[in-house]
Amino acid sequence: MKGAVFLDRDGVLVREIVLDGEARAPLRLEDFFIVDDAASQVERLHQAGFRCVVFTNQPEVARGLLSQPTLDEMHRRLSEATAVDEILVCPHVDSDGCGCRKPRPGMLLEAARRADIDLRDSFVVGDRWRDVDAGRAVGCYSILIDRPYSNCSTADASVPDLTSAVNVILARGEAPPE
């Protein structure tokens, strides 16, 4: 088993859209911008031996606000730009009661099962309480990229940006060898 870094998409790897103090996911390709240091930070994690997995709630799909082909193209661009190992998506809304919608840890558990990931040796990087709670539910070390909308005080570490989050991960030690 090996460790991984689970990265939220919007507000971590992709520039968040904030309207009236609330973060929103981009719904159009022209609003989808990967943060400047995303590729270099994923590369740092890969060099340290970590598998990098994006895990993202995208309820806009269930609400009919985001088409599956547009979401697929966003994720193709993200994968190409950052070389993340996998992108997991929960397309449901809270009322669906699925186990994959954060703060439930279903996406983390599925990734761990498929790729033989030790969740106790893994990290979650997110910008909201939902990301942190999902990680904490399975024993991951949780790092919050603190934003005005984060509403979270339970993260193991709080940082201002992705580079700082990666610095925390690397300071805690490299991933165990495969």
Q: Which of 10, 121, 131, 133 is catalytic?
A: 10
Domain harbouring 115, CATH code: 3.40.50.1000
Cα(166)–Cα(24) distance, integer angstroms:
24
Structural domain of residue 44, as residue ranges? 4-171
Question: Residue 36 corresponds to which tokens in the numbers above?
Answer: 């400047």
Is 72 an active-site residue?
no
Active site residue 36: no
Say what the pTM is: 0.94
pLDDT tens string 7-66: 999 999 999 998 888 889 999 999 999 999 999 999 999 999 999 999 999 999 999 999
Q: What share of the chain is helix, strand, coil (3-state, %, to 5)?
A: 35, 20, 45
Number of folded domains that form the chain: 1
Any domain includes 11: yes
Give 132-136 contacts, CB < 8 A, sequence gap 24+: 132/103, 133/102, 133/103, 134/55, 134/102, 134/103, 134/104, 134/105, 134/107, 134/108, 135/6, 135/105, 135/108
Quick one: pLDDT at residue 156?
97
Residue 1 banded pLDDT, cuts 50, 70, 90: low
Domain assignment of residue 105, yes or no: yes
